[in-house]
Structure 1
Amino acid sequence: MLFKGAFIKLLLQMRGELRRLCHSPFVIGLLSLLWFILRTGTKPSRINYPCQRAALANIHLWLTIYIMPLIYPLIHLVQKSLRSRRFLPILVIAIIIGGALTFWGVYEMMRMKEMREISLKIEERLAMFEPCSSIFVVTGTRGNDDGIFRLIDLMGDHGLLFYKSHEYGRNKGPSGLIGRDDVVIIKVNSQWDERGGTNTDLVKALIEAILNHPDGFVGEIVVADNGQAQYGSGGFGGSFSWLRNNAENISQSIQSVVDFFANKGYKVSTYLWDQITTKRVSEYFEGDMEDGYIVNTTRNPRTGIMVSYPKFRTAFGTYISFKYGVWDPETRTYHSERLKVINFPVLKTHSIYGVTACVKHYMGVVSDKLTARLGARAHDTVDDGGMGTEMVETRFPTLNIIDAIW
């Protein structure tokens, strides 16, 4: 009993010491500094987060109380070193280290200034000519918030309904885009990692929005792309499993997002068309059930492109022709109206075209290798409008969403 009492007393004393330690300004300031460095990482825009601003206040107080008082003794040490040559090497080393740290700090400040977020003021305007596109802009979103849902609401407020339904509502109605039993291809950027790929937080939010169909979603979602099995961050084309991704949590890949929903029983899968980009096949109605690419060897007289597109079987056994739609092997018919394509590029720079977005994004639909072998490489037709021809002659996007987050 005496041992038990002493042990409890010791625990109470330790608890008190830990409480005092946790409330220590020195500990709070030091932990705030470590948190600020680790949390901000390579994305300076996170400095604007409320938690980061609070950490900065703690760091400022910590520097004022514990670091600034050391400046005078340091100056005194320098003066003493100047009087004695014995301390000269130490002084030189200190100057070199201090100079390097100062240079690094200035460089980081300049880099952070260059990388700061740019606020765009978007004004509503009406097009002067027809036909025209309806463009909806959502600002102030980071992807892992309600940005996609705000976009859907904004569309609905202007008559473009996201959900196809017999019932009428803010975002639903008979003229809606996505039906409860549709097969939806979400076409993303996968050839490059980090900022070269579509924001995976946005992809996750979009999948969630589709699955939240007000009539109950019973269809299927396929996240797809063709990185052309060439070039890209790894030199081998596209990947849905990059280690560094465009997201608040850079480890969150496209594949991990899809697996998150698939593990909950939803029909959500990926298909990397790189795997079939060199395999030429025929259409389902011609008796060819193999996955691969259809190529029209007749070059378009205006843009020069040989139109090509994938046909494939999803992880859940659905047969899809990108051009003709969902194939029913029993009735041997296509259901074109059930296949919806959401074109989801990331806005990024390009070494040839400057900036690329929705139209150039269809380079991830064609087969660059097959068309190159046939003498009409698809990429060479981008300048002449080849991707526009590809859209018109295969399947026009049901909806274009541009990821312009950084």
Structure 2
Amino acid sequence: MTLGSAALGKPQGKASVRREPVADPLCTVYRSVNGSPPENLRKVIELMGGINIVFGEDDVVLIKPNAQWWNQGATNLAALSAFVDLIMERPRGFRGEVVIAENCHRGNSPWTSIDSGWAKGFQRNTDIPGMKNLAELGQSLKKRYGNRFTLRHWINVAYGAKRVFGPKDGAGYVYCDGTGGVPLLSFDNGVAGERHRATIMTYPVFVTDRGTVVDFKNGVWEKGEYSGRPFRFVNFPALNHHSVFCGMTSAVKNYLGVTDLSGGSDPHQGGKLTSQYYNFHSFSFDKSDHGPRPGMLGAEVGVFLNTVRKADLNITAAEWVGLVSRVDPPVARTRAVLASTDPVALDYHSGKYVLFPNSKLAIHDPDNVKSPFRQYLATCAEKSGCVLDESRVDVVSYDIGNKRIRNDDLVLYGDVEWGRDPMLLLKYIYLRFLPI
């Protein structure tokens, strides 16, 4: 018996999980498996009715990837590229714009940071020959599509971005603290005493390479007013282990890359946007530890979904999933792309049928009520109206290898690359048997 099959919990056989069609679904999770990232991406969009149904010819489409990390911690580059191509080459025509934007919280010039997916060379998860990182993908898309494509880096106010009160002030971040004509959109953790914390919603205003001004909350701003031009937001995360205090990271947590995290992650060493309000990270957690109240990550994102903006579509690129790290092995190659209009339903499904079967870590189990992952999914569903109950979620799964719809084998076991780092292997063993 090998270390991989015993202590490291290598899957022994494949469990067959069949789900009958849901009679009255509240949402649907679409999946394509066992193809290349572009094949899986294109099939998922086809299952949803095709790109003509998803987007219109004049839309401004904002795509928010994972860019804070590289390798499996970033959105798969080939899937992201294929998605942009589908929009730009829409059969019924496309005169709109596509924007890839992200706040990776890596200083005032994140495009140069080797601690981000923009500049760090990938060892896996590009699937485009010769392409090393997200910056190179952006350059390639810009060359192909000119001013119809924009790559934009959102930067925290603490790193030099401008605090604005609306699109008339130009690009920057809006703080919804009730000042300057901006409404108060706040949320507190309900804890009494010194552990009480409150946060506010923040969101970017940005300008495309065509000069189009976009207010993330309220839409396109033209000629001194909101024009009503269609603005579509696509949340496009990866799927990975995050931490003991968070569990899994994917669609719900990806919203932290929209918000301003000025003040840093430590509530005891800054952590505040203003004198009264913490940022989304320091509100939920004590830097790299559990915060005052479980589930607050999901609760704040749920409030954001209801009061600022909810993605029109969430796409999870799960070509590789990190079992204990967002950049290093052990990793499982699960060869999947999943999508839904509901981020909670998507994260629940991705955790239950993709990450957890490969990691076997209790903190990744969306059915374990003690798991931090389950706790933040539950509070996000409560605050946003998203769907946690999988009996109300339909699933349409296509197997590229078998060329057919297949809903009788939902659990995806990937080929695991364990790596050779003894510390990471020991970390896995520790987390594998960590009681929660």
Shared fold (TM-score greater than 0.5)?
yes
Q: Which residue of 2 aligns with 1:190?
A: 67
Q: Which residue of 2 aligns with 1:27?
A: none
How do 1:303-342 residues align onto structure 2 when only pairs under 5 Å count? Answer: 304-328=198-222, 330=223, 332-342=224-234
Residues 218-269 of structure 1 show CA distances to partners (whole Å, capped at 9, x for unaligned) of 1111111111226x99988645233226222474322222322321344112
How do 1:17-96 residues align onto structure 2 when only pairs under 5 Å count? Answer: none
Q: Which residue of 1 aligns with 2:39?
A: 146
CA 1:139 to 1:179, structure 2 compared with 1: closer, same or farther past 3 Å?
A: same
Alignment equivalent of 2:236, drawn from 338, 344, 348: 344
Residues 90-120 of structure 1 show CA distances to partners (whole Å, capped at 9, x for unaligned) of xxxxxxxxxxxxxxxx99x989x98899978
Residue 305 of structure 1: SS of its match in structure 2? Answer: strand
Alignment equivalent of 1:241, drawn from 77, 95, 119: 119
Shift of 1:314: 1.8
Residues 118-177 of structure 1 show CA distances to partners (whole Å, capped at 9, x for unaligned) of 9785644455887x321011111231x421111111122xxxx542xxxxxxxxxxxx33
CA RMSD of aligned residues (A): 3.4
Verify: 1:300 aligned to 2:186, yes or no. yes
Verify: 1:203 aligned to 2:105, yes or no. no
Rounded Cα–Cα distance in structure 2 between residues aligned with 1:338 and 1:393: 19
Shift of 1:296: 1.1
Q: Which residue of 2 aligns with 1:6?
A: none
Residues 181 and 217 in structure 1, CA contact (< 8 A), matched pair in contact too: yes
Residue 137 of structure 1: SS of its match in structure 2? Answer: strand
Rounded Cα–Cα distance in structure 2 between residues aligned with 1:210 and 1:355: 30
Normalised to the residue count of structure 2, the TM-score between the two structures is 0.56
Aligned residues: 277
CA 1:339 to 1:265, structure 2 compared with 1: closer, same or farther past 3 Å?
A: same
Q: Which residue of 1 aligns with 2:376?
A: none
Specify every segment of 5 or more residues in structure 1 that has no aligned partner in the other structure, as ranges: 1-105, 164-175
Residues 192 and 233 in structure 1, CA contact (< 8 A), matched pair in contact too: no
Identify the structure with bigger relative contact order (alpha carbons < 8 Å, sequence gap 6+).
2
Q: Which residue of 2 aligns with 1:22?
A: none
Residues 306 and 376 in structure 1, CA contact (< 8 A), matched pair in contact too: yes
Q: Which residue of 2 aligns with 1:392?
A: 306
Alignment equivalent of 2:155, drawn from 254, 271, 274: 274
| Same amino acid, percent of matched pairs | 24
Normalised to the residue count of structure 1, the TM-score between the two structures is 0.60
Residue 402 of structure 1: SS of its match in structure 2? Answer: strand
Of stretches 387-396 and 115-124 in structure 1, the one that deviates more from structure 2 is 115-124
Residues 207 and 214 in structure 2, CA contact (< 8 A), matched pair in contact too: yes
User: Which structure has more helix as a fraction of its residues?
Assistant: 1
Residues 228 and 274 in structure 1, CA contact (< 8 A), matched pair in contact too: yes
CA 1:299 to 1:178, structure 2 compared with 1: closer, same or farther past 3 Å?
A: closer
Alignment equivalent of 1:401, drawn from 315, 336, 352: 315
Rounded Cα–Cα distance in structure 2 between residues aligned with 1:367 and 1:115: 39
Q: Which has the larger radius of gyration?
A: 1
Residues 225 and 272 in structure 1, CA contact (< 8 A), matched pair in contact too: yes
